Chains A and B, each alone.
Chain A
Amino acid sequence: MIKIRYFARLREHLGTADEQMALTPEIRDLAALTEQLRRRGGVWSEAFGGEQSVMMAVNEEVADAAQPLRDGDEVAYFPPVTGG
């Protein structure tokens, strides 16, 4: 299983803060996971359709699409940061 967390505008848009997902062989990296989420349709394809900039992290470190995923990973999706 992996845990997926969503923050800020993305969390509100998707209507969910986090979920657990079984890690299948197809979900080998972040690119594959993102594509799987986008295929859910509706708000998911809007959020991950490329219109809006989405940042990703794995185990609390910023990661890019090529980042491989392992069982037990915590993945996070969020908009560009606006703190400070």
Chain B
Amino acid sequence: MRRSIRIQAEAFDPLEVAGDLHRDNPGVGAVVSFLGLMRDLNQGRRVLSMTLEHYPGMAEKALRRIVEEAAERWPLQAVSVVHRVGELRPQDPIVLVMVASSHRGDAFRACEFIIDFLKTRAPFWKKEQTEQGEHWVEARSNDLASELRWRARDDR
């Protein structure tokens, strides 16, 4: 399986990532992606900018492990994960998970699995700058629920 994990401060082009994923790989029949963007409104507050911190080393390792777990569950041809760090503005892409497989079902499920586990296991933290000042974003209990759901499922 082709795999690419990137953590970077620079912006990225999702179409370029897509091209790299299935180029010269005629076994790929489906590409499914999740693109997370920065919103300008969170819990009723207008967000001007965001700073993303991560634990270098551990973040890459955690993402690699999540991708390996997905590859054990479903037959995948390629996976690419790109996560930005540093300063972000509304509408900036934050994260891209792109999965290529022979058939769409495996790609859809693996893509959701990877983003769900990324949200609860990969060491990244968001801090928002709003008109009322700045604050760290709180972890959401429904993100944990999304991860736990996979433990009960066996729709590989």
Contact = CB atoms under 8 A, between A and B. Distances in A.
A79 B54 CA distance: 11
Nearest to A60: B58
Interface stretch (B8-16, B22-30, B103-111, B133-141): B133-141
Interface residues of B, number: 28
Given A7-B55, A9-B136, A60-B55, A82 B125 contact: yes
Nearest to A59: B58
Interface in B28-56: 36, 52-55
Contacts, number: 70
A83 B55 contact: no
Contacts of A78: 55, 123, 125
Contacts of A62: 121
B136 A84 contact: no
Contacts of B139: 53, 79-82
Given A78-B125, A81-B125, A57 B95 contact: no
Given A8-B125, A78-B55, A83 B119 contact: yes
Interface in A43-84: 53, 57, 60-62, 76, 78-84
B55 A84 contact: no
B94 interface: yes
A82 B58 contact: no
B58 A9 contact: no
A8 B51 CA distance: 10
Contacts of B55: 5, 7, 57, 60, 76, 78
A53 to B, nearest CB: 8
A57 B123 contact: yes
7 contacts: A7-B55, A8-B136, A60-B55, A60-B61, A80-B139, A82-B125, A83-B123
Interface of B: 36, 52-55, 57-59, 61, 83, 94-95, 115, 118-127, 136-140
Given A9-B136, A57-B55, 10 more contacts: A5-B55, A7-B55, A57-B123, A61-B58, A76-B55, A76-B123, A81-B119, A82-B139, A83-B118, A84-B118
